[in-house]
Structures are given as structure tokens and as C-alpha cells.
Amino acid sequence: MKQGSQLQSKDILDKKFKTSMRGYNQEEVDEFLDTIIQDYEFFNQKIEQLKQENERLKSQAEQQTRVRPQTSNHQVNYDILKRLSNLEKAVFGKKYTDA
């Protein structure tokens, strides 16, 4: 039996109900149970598909984290200041750097 699930499709299919004088129409019950089985199997397949996709995405995220190391804030700040300095030199020229 699957974790968290109380029924399997086969359990629904094999379920027998007692009949009584004023009971339910057996054909209607069987048709309804057939619909439930179809939905149940569809949702089980969907859950399995989503689990696999979740694992694939987790694995993909882990690989990207390993490939692309995190840059420190100090390195980012240094790069920004260096770019700003180069931009100031280009805009203001030698006059700005001599001052």
C-alpha cells in the first residue's frame, strides 16, 4: 500500500457491497466505482510524474549551484567601483584623474 493512501485501485475494484431489499442499484454503484478507479489511477500517475519532475529540478538546481560558485559581496563591490572609476575616466578624461 502506498504511503498516505488507504486504497489501491484494485481495492476499489474488488469491493463487494451487501445487497438488501431497499439497497442501491448495483449497476449504478459499479459505474460510479469505475469512474472513481479511473480518477484514482490518473491522480496516482500525476503524483508520480510530479515527484519525478521535482527530483529532476532539485538535481538540476544542485548542479547549477556546484558549477556556478557564489561571488562574495566584496568582489561585487570592487567590480562596481572599478567600472565606475573607468566610466569617470572616460567621461571626464585626464582632468578628473589629475585633480
pLDDT (0 to 100) of residue 62: 85
**Residue 3 and residue 40 in one domain:** yes
Task: Summarize pLDDT for 44-98 with one digit per residue, the tens.
Answer: 999 999 999 999 999 988 887 776 666 677 777 888 888 888 888 877 776 655 5
pLDDT (0 to 100) of residue 15: 81
The grid cell for 7 is: 486504497
Q: How many domains does the chain have?
A: 2
**Residue 75 and residue 61 in one domain:** no
**Residue 99 and residue 62 in one domain:** no
CB 36 within 8 A of CB 11: no
**Residue 8 and residue 41 in one domain:** yes
**Residue 81 and residue 94 in one domain:** yes
**Residue 38 and residue 76 in one domain:** no
